[in-house]
């Protein structure tokens, strides 16, 4: 079974440009999460999809970030326009639909974003 | 106050020794507790989960949870060089999102 995949693995862009990150969850996982780790800080929650619906987007830093999950399969996270403080590693995770507290979240390898 | 705090590292232990990692959390409503291992440049990998007070053992790993003290720990027995990694404590609340500590980097010296 394939794990969570993310694309690209690295992205280097200039301030003001747009970047789109993609996440493919494990097949059959209805829950999809985005997290971010900025330099020297802990991994922070960004948002949570259940199928195609945004369940919780309380961690999104501002309106320059837009996440979508059309069709309830893969998800994209767009940053427009990118700022220097957006640099970090963006992780995607997925889990099965069962709403149990112990439901394991499987993480992808992350996308390292550098904004110059 | 941070939601999840871990003992500051790095932690260096000799091969065969016990590595002890500690974590405290602030939300008394937290329901599930996890330890992830992350090798450099790789994805966090779940190695232990614990939901009830007490100890849970899995191979060389033992997780301990004390909800009254809002404390969770991880012991790695017979540490191996392959255990060298960053260990992340994560806490899940009622809304299912994970809150992470900053991580503790462990180095096992051969």
**pLDDT value of residue A66:** 97
CA distance B54 to A59: 32
Q: Which two tokens stand for residue A53?
A: 């619906």
> Which residue among B88, B97, B99 sits closest to A33, beta carbon to beta carbon?
B97
- Pair of tokens at residue B63: 């997780």
Contacts of A44 in chain B (CB under 8 A): 100
B82 pLDDT tier (thresholds 50, 70, 90): very high
Mean pLDDT, chain B, as a whole number? 93
Mutation site for B-interface testing, chosen from A94, A107, A109 by largest number of B Cβ within 10 Å: A107
Beta strand A44-50 with A31-37 is antiparallel
**Helix, strand, coil share of chain A (percent; to 5):** 5, 45, 45
Cα(A97)–Cα(A83) distance, integer angstroms: 34
Quick one: pLDDT at residue A104? 86
Q: Which chain B residue has the Cα nearest residue A89?
A: B41
State whether the Cα torsion B101-A100-A33-A111 is positive or negative. Answer: positive
Predicted confidence (pLDDT) at residue B15 exceeds the cutoff of 90:
yes
Among B2, B41, B43, most A C-beta atoms within 10 A, so best to mutate, is B43
User: Per-residue pLDDT tens for A48-77?
Assistant: 999 999 999 999 999 999 999 988 899 999
Cβ atoms of residues A108 and B43 within 8 Å? yes
**pLDDT digits 0-9 by tens, B30-68:** 889 999 999 998 999 999 999 999 999 999 999 999 999
- At B57 the pLDDT is 96
């Amino acid at each position: 079974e394939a794990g969570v995949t993310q694309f690209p693995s690295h992205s280097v862009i200039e301030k003001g440009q747009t970047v789109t990150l993609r996440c493919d969850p494990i097949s059959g996982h209805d829950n999809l999460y985005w997290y971010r780790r900025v330099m020297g800080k802990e991994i922070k929650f960004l948002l949570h999809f259940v199928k195609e619906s945004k369940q919780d987007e309380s961690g999104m830093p501002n309106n320059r970030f837009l996440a979508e999950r059309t069709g309830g399969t893969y998800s994209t996270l767009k940053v427009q326009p990118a700022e220097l403080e957006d640099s970090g590693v963006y992780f995607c995770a997925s889990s099965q639909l069962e709403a149990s507290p112990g439901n394991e979240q499987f993480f992808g390898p992350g996308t390292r974003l550098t904004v110059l | 106050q941070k939601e999840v705090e871990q003992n500051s590292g790095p932690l260096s232990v000799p091969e065969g020794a016990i590595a002890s990692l500690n974590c405290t959390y602030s939300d008394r409503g937290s329901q599930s507790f996890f330890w992830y291992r992350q090798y450099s440049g790789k994805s966090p990998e779940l190695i232990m989960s614990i939901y009830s007070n007490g100890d849970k053992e899995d191979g060389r790993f033992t997780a301990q949870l004390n909800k009254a003290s809002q404390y969770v720990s991880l012991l790695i027995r017979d540490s191996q060089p392959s255990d060298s990694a960053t260990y992340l404590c994560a806490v899940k609340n009622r809304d299912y999102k994970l809150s992470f500590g900053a991580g503790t980097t462990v180095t096992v010296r051969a």
